[in-house]
């Protein structure tokens, strides 16, 4: 069973990553994913790059590709950590999401679902097979 760690770029998420890296070094199957919305804080991007470099971890960076047609599923693009804030489109995922679904509001806070959860799940299903992985997230 693959262990997939969703690394948010925050401190508790980094702590979980550190714990899971010990398991990976011991031979367990562990895969790390950072879901980029295209509008994270610059210090978050910096921290992600520093964690990757310091711990020398293999990190998959995903960004949602919004299909503008309603009723059609969205996809994702896989990036390298070095592409963060260099080659990757800034704000594009969020802007495309607003064009397709409208502006998020208190009763319709769908950002996390559209920009992170759905593409993350699709990526994991595509690469490991539905039901063949366990998702790990750091929480406060």
Whether the pTM exceeds 0.95: the reply is: no
Q: What angle do CA 118, 85, 97 make, to 5 degrees?
A: 35
Q: Quick check: 109 pLDDT over 90?
A: no
Q: Is 11 exposed, middle or buried (0-12, 13-18, 19+ CB in 10 A)?
A: exposed
Check: CB of residue 111 under 8 Å from CB of residue 63.
no
Predicted confidence at residue 90, as pLDDT, reads 85
pLDDT-based confidence at residue 84 (cuts at 50, 70, 90): confident
pLDDT-based confidence at residue 83 (cuts at 50, 70, 90): confident
**Mean pLDDT across 57-75:** 95
**Mean pLDDT across 14-41:** 96
First to last CA, the chain: 26
Please tell me the least confidently modeled range out of 49-58, 59-68, 85-94.
Answer: 85-94
* Cβ atoms within 10 Å, residue 106: 5
**Mean pLDDT across 20-26:** 97
Check: CB of residue 65 under 8 Å from CB of residue 74.
yes
Check: CB of residue 67 under 8 Å from CB of residue 73.
yes
For β-strands 75-79 and 59-65, DSSP reports them as: antiparallel
**Mean pLDDT across 48-66:** 96
What domains does the chain contain, in order, with CATH numbers? 2-137 (3.40.50.620)
Say what percent of the chain tops pLDDT 90. Answer: 83
Q: Quick check: 140 pLDDT over 70?
A: no
Q: Helices 11-25 and 42-55: crossing angle, nearest 10°?
A: 20
Please give the mean pLDDT across all residues of the chain: 94
């Amino acid at each position: 069973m693959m262990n997939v760690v969703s690394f948010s770029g925050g401190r508790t998420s980094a702590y979980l990553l550190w714990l899971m890296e010990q398991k990976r070094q011991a031979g367990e199957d562990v895969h790390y994913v950072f879901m980029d919305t295209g509008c994270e804080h610059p210090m978050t991007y910096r921290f992600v790059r520093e964690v990757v470099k310091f711990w020398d971890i293999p990190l998959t960076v995903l960004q949602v590709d919004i299909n503008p047609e309603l009723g059609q599923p969205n996809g994702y693009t896989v990036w390298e950590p070095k592409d963060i804030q260099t080659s990757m489109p800034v704000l594009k995922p969020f802007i495309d999401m607003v064009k397709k679904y409208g502006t998020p509001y208190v009763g319709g806070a769908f950002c996390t679902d559209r920009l992170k959860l759905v593409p993350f799940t699709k990526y994991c299903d595509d690469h490991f097979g539905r039901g063949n992985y366990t998702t790990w997230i750091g929480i406060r």
